[in-house]
Structure formats: structure tokens, C-alpha cells
Amino acid sequence: MSVPPEEAAKDIFEVVPIIMREIRSVMRSKRPPVLTVPQYRALSFVDRNAGSSLLDVANHLGLTPPSTSKLVDGLIGHGLMTREEQPVDRRRLKLAVTDRGHKDMIAARQGTLAYLTDRLRNMDEGDREVIVRAMKALHLVFTGNPKIGERWG
Amino acid sequence: MSVPPEEAAKDIFEVVPIIMREIRSVMRSKRPPVLTVPQYRALSFVDRNAGSSLLDVANHLGLTPPSTSKLVDGLIGHGLMTREEQPVDRRRLKLAVTDRGHKDMIAARQGTLAYLTDRLRNMDEGDREVIVRAMKALHLVFTGNPKIGERWG
DNA sequence: ATAATTAGTTAGAAAGGCTAATCGTTAGAA
DNA sequence: TTCTAACGATTAGCCTTTCTAACTAATTAT
């Protein structure tokens, strides 16, 4: 039986915001320290791509450069990231994650994954397989990249 | 082959924020009028459940009553919702969506669905079926409700 | 050399979220 | 029945996130 794209879109639009709210809520509930979802995403990205510029991060997060600048300001203020000048092109920043930033990022990830894992533990195993396949397909559609998981190194 | 809950959790945590960012970005890009995701969700809920109280909406959105009060204030200020007193219990509000609120909500929904549909159009049909099944399973896990789609009336 | 482009920041506004305190209404118990 | 407890909603005050517009500094191209 055929599944039109409209139907899949409807279901995604219904369910994704619900899950996202849970994720946000879990990440906010850990304290201290607190990492918001964008903060976590920024740390994670720079951690994987050492020496990223501000625009690299902005593109990855889907934020404007000013918003990203403020976000990075905050992370630096909390000692989770550093901002260096590059001799090659003095306009471009060279961002890097500090040890503490790395630790906080891992902690935030673990906390959230533990929560999600717990939610998924009692479900039908076939459903979990379907979810994994769906996430891979969606990742491809929305990023052009078929591979999930580089993020986790 | 067995899919442990940890793996599904990881994939969800990777992919859901990406999709959510797209949804948010599409909803923000329509103008005028602009509806944010929580605004859309509040309108949609009240539209389906005419006469809802503020707490009903707050529970649905997962927000505190004060936050919801502000959100509703904004919607009323833009002429998208009305707030009435109930004679039965004068503490409880009776919220309702105006014609314009209904129209804006439909427009926001259509715009977002059109975007998502477009993204999903060129994918393998089997993948779409997997996505639909995954969304239903996730909806059940995160809401306790197996049924998606009441939202759309 | 000067103009255009690029990277990033600052300024100012709006939205969205929280907790704590308050007000009016209703329900329950002495 | 009265008085107290609980409930629904708002206000006040705070902080964060995001935007757009305007700016500075550095680099590239004409």
C-alpha cells in the first residue's frame, strides 16, 4: 500500500515537536551545568571540527551570525569554548572546545540519551528497528548525508 | 538483527533537532503573518477543543500557566483568539479561535506541510512507509496515545 | 588605490520561558 | 454556615534566545 508524501509530512509535523519538547526539557533539567540544545549542538560541532569559524557553526545550527556570536559569547563566558584569531585570515575565528566544555557536552549527551533510551526500552523491538531506519532516511533527506553518527566520533 | 534502545535513542537525538530546525525556519519565513511553533500549537489545540481553559492549553503545550497566559495574550492581541468568562465557573476561561486565527493557522500548517511534503516527495516510497510507522510508534511512546491525527480534525 | 566582499560584532526589539506572589472564585470541613 | 483550603488565572520580574539593521575590520578584485 502506497504512502503519499503528504501523509508522512503530516505525521512528522505532529510528532517531531513533541519529541523535541521532551529533549529540550531533559537537557534543561540537568543542573548544574545546564546546556541548552543549541549550546550542546554548537559544542558538539566544534568538538568534531576543531578550528571551525563562527559562520561554520552558524550554518550548522541554522542560526544567523549575530545569534551565533552571542551563543558563542555565552559558551566562552562559561569557560566551555575558546575564540582565537587566525594569522592566516584575521577575520576568521578559530573556535575550540575546552576540556570543561567537552566534559559538559558529554554529560548533557549522556543525560539525554539515558532518558530517551529509557523511553524506548519497553517498546516492541520491531518498532525500534523501524525508528532507526526512519531516522536514517530522514537524515539523508534533510542533510543530504546518508551517514548518521559522525557526531559521536 | 536486534536494535538496542541506545541506538534508536542516538539516532533520534541526532535527527529530530535537525528536522525541528527546518520546521521552525519554515514557519518563521511566512510573512505576514508569522506564527511561531508554540503559537501554532496553541491555536490548533483550541481550534479542535473549543472552550478550552488556559490550563488545558498549558498542559497540551507542556508550558507553565504564566507562560501560556502570555502566549495567549499575544494571540488575542493579534486578533487570533478570544478569551471569555464562563458563567459556570468564573475562574475558568473559555478560549476560542477567531476566523482570522483559524485562517492563519491553516496557512501556517499548509506552508509547513507543503515544505515537508516537497522534501519527502523524491524519496523511496518504502522509506515513507517506514517513516509513518516510526512516527506512530514514537507518538505512542511519548504521549501514551496510539492515534495520530486528531489534531487535523 | 579604491571598491566590493567577507567575517564577525554591537544595538535594539520581540518572543518565550521560568519562579514567586497575588487575586478572585469555588469547594470542603468544622 | 462560615471559614479555610484549593484552584484558575494573572502580574511582576527576570533571563535567554532569536531576529534585523547597522557597523567595524580585514581581505580580494578591479
Cβ atoms of B35 and B104 within 8 Å: the answer is yes
List CB-based contacts (under 7 A) with strand C. A 53-56, 65-66, 69-70, 72-73, 83, 89, 91-93; B 36, 38-39, 61, 63-64, 66-67, 70-71, 74, 88-91
Top pLDDT among B3 and B151 is at B3
Span B126-146, pLDDT tens digits: 999 999 999 999 999 988 877
Span A67-108, pLDDT tens digits: 999 999 999 999 999 999 888 899 999 999 999 999 999 999
The closest of B109, B96, B65 to A17, measured between CA atoms, is B109
Residue A15: its chain B contacts at CB < 8 A? 135, 138-139, 142, 148
CA angle (A85 as vertex; A81, A89 as ends), nearest 5? 135
DSSP B49: S
Mean pLDDT across B84-94: 88
- Lowest mean pLDDT segment, chosen from A12-16, B17-21, B26-30, B32-36: B32-36
The pLDDT of residue B115 is 92
The pLDDT of residue B129 is 96
* Nucleotides of strand D within 7 Å of the protein's CB atoms: 7-13, 16-22, 25-28
Rounded to 5 degrees, φ, ψ at B89 are -135, 105
B33 pLDDT tier (thresholds 50, 70, 90): low
Residue with cell 519538547: A21
The pLDDT of residue A86 is 86
Chain B: give the shortest CA distance to residue A8, in Å. Answer: 5
Top pLDDT among B147 and B45 is at B45
Distance CA A146, CA A138 (A): 9
Report the residue from B6, B37, B132 with minimal CB separation from A11: B132
For the record, the C-alpha cell of B71 comes out as 502566549
Residue spans of chain A under pLDDT 70: 1, 31-33, 149-153
Secondary structure class of A106 (helix, strand, coil)? helix
The pLDDT of residue A119 is 93
Distance CA A92, CA A72 (A): 14
Q: Which domains can be identified in chain A, with CATH numbers?
A: 5-147 (1.10.10.10)
The pLDDT of residue B32 is 60
CB atoms near residue B24 (< 10 Å): 16
The pLDDT of residue B143 is 86
B153 pLDDT tier (thresholds 50, 70, 90): very low
B99 pLDDT tier (thresholds 50, 70, 90): very high
Residue with cell 538483527: B1
The pLDDT of residue B35 is 86
